[in-house]
Homo-oligomer: A and B are copies of this chain.
Amino acid sequence: MPELRQNRFTKEWVIMATERAKRPEEMRVKREARPLSHYVETCPFCPGNEHLAPPEILRFSKPDGHWAVRVVPNKFAALTREGEPEWKIERSRRTIRGVGIHDVIVETPDHALTIALLPPERVQTILECYRQRFRAVSQDPRVAHITIFKNHGVAAGTSLEHPHSQMIATPVISSQVRQRLYEALRHFDEFGECMFCEMIEEELAENKRVVLASEYFVAIEPFASATPFATGIYPRRHMASFGDVSDAELSDLARILRTMLAMLYVGLDNPDFNYVIRTAPAEVAGAKYYHWYLSIIPRLTRVAGFELGSGMFINTVLPEQATAFLRGIDVEPLASAAD
């Protein structure tokens, strides 16, 4: 019997289509192996080609002096860094000048690597770049909200294969983000409690959808996952803003994120995926009602007309089954790779 499950945080319903259900292992990617080169002459993110990208904003170096992670402006930025956002009101139409910040975080000098294959301390450096840029850009009075995200693979919308993530700071808070804040605020008003903190506690107690639990974080397949293997990594401590993550937490996040991505890499054969940090905007950084987290979305299925037309998704893999499958994945064989 299929069932509808409500995503508490968006109030959207998801159809768990048990009649067309797939076993988790059926979601494994079937593709021809095409090993990447470690260096590509025309790649703007490979070492020696730094002049092909705009001037560097931030760098972290390895003990040998070579860079480990670099941040540069996106050469094909969606928004321009110059000027002020100005509203234009013309009859019913609303336009704002496209002012904002669009950075690229180059995650490693090695063209062929990916976070699942990096040592945890290198993942920590990537996250340190995120935090440092997040805090700096949050100070810009033109910025209303910051989205940090990663596109891995063609199905996830990437155009450059060298491992990188991006940060886009916009002069508005999107309607989607406002809607999530509003639902969380309503919950707080009614129950005096953060709905994320409550959910984490319930999930840990029930232990059906918890894939990993570390000192400071919990990785969960959400009860109303819209797509197979969608995973949330939630801090145990209440924090609305990613900018408030501590050093100890960042180090722990690096390990759990890497292990989670390694499980997907091994279990589903290096699937295309996105991840995104869902954080409160700076203007409500201290909110008692919102809780930041990192959302991983493997891109194993296509969005079709029903999803576009209704906003509801049809998921063919139960999160409980995805959890059981992922818990059984051994990621140890990956542990020794490095650049």
Q: How far is the CB of A105 from chain B (nearest CB, A)?
A: 12
A residues 1-51 with Cβ under 8 Å of B? 1-6, 8, 10-13, 15-20
Q: Is the pair B13, A170 in contact by a Cβ cutoff of 8 Å?
A: yes
Measured in the bound complex, the distance between the Cα atoms of B12 and A145 in whole Å is: 14
| Residue of A77, A147, A199, A301 with highest tally of chain B CB at under 10 A | A147
Q: Is the pair B311, A223 in contact by a Cβ cutoff of 8 Å?
A: no
> What residues on B are CB-neighbors of A217 within 8 Å?
none
Residue of B nearest to A303 (CB): B157
Residue A155, interface by CB 8 Å: yes
Measured in the bound complex, the distance between the Cα atoms of B175 and A278 in whole Å is: 20
Q: Is the pair B310, A156 in contact by a Cβ cutoff of 8 Å?
A: no
Q: Is the pair B13, A174 in contact by a Cβ cutoff of 8 Å?
A: yes
Q: Is the pair B78, A175 in contact by a Cβ cutoff of 8 Å?
A: no
Q: Is the pair B1, A98 in contact by a Cβ cutoff of 8 Å?
A: yes
A residues 296-320 with Cβ under 8 Å of B? 297, 301-312, 314
Interface residue from B92, B98, B305 paired with A166 (Cβ < 8 Å): B305
Contact with B along A193-218 (1 / 0, CB 8 A): 00100110010000000000000000
Measured in the bound complex, the distance between the Cα atoms of B309 and A125 in whole Å is: 22
Binds B, one of A60-68, A135-143, A254-262, A269-277: A269-277
Q: Is the pair A2, B80 in contact by a Cβ cutoff of 8 Å?
A: yes
**A98/B12 contact (C-beta < 8 A), A2-B80, A157-B302, A311-B175 known:** no
**A11/B175 contact (C-beta < 8 A), A92-B202, A308-B276 known:** yes
Q: How far is the CB of A90 from chain B (nearest CB, A)?
A: 10
Residue A225, interface by CB 8 Å: no
Q: Is the pair A303, B303 in contact by a Cβ cutoff of 8 Å?
A: yes
Residue A172, interface by CB 8 Å: yes
Residue A130, interface by CB 8 Å: no
Q: How far is the CB of A85 from chain B (nearest CB, A)?
A: 8
> What residues on B are CB-neighbors of A297 within 8 Å?
305, 308
Residue A295, interface by CB 8 Å: yes
A residues 45-83 with Cβ under 8 Å of B? 76-80, 83
**A176/B78 contact (C-beta < 8 A), A95-B5, A149-B308, A302-B157 known:** no
| Chain A residues close to B by CB (< 8 Å) | 1-6, 8, 10-13, 15-20, 76-80, 83, 85, 91-98, 145, 147-151, 154-158, 166, 168, 170-172, 174-177, 179, 195, 198-199, 202, 223, 274-278, 295, 297, 301-312, 314
With contacts A3-B97, A4-B170, A176-B310 known, what are 17 further pairs, Cβ within 8 A? Answer: A1-B80, A2-B97, A3-B98, A5-B93, A5-B94, A6-B93, A13-B172, A15-B79, A17-B78, A19-B78, A145-B310, A147-B305, A149-B304, A174-B310, A175-B311, A176-B312, A278-B309
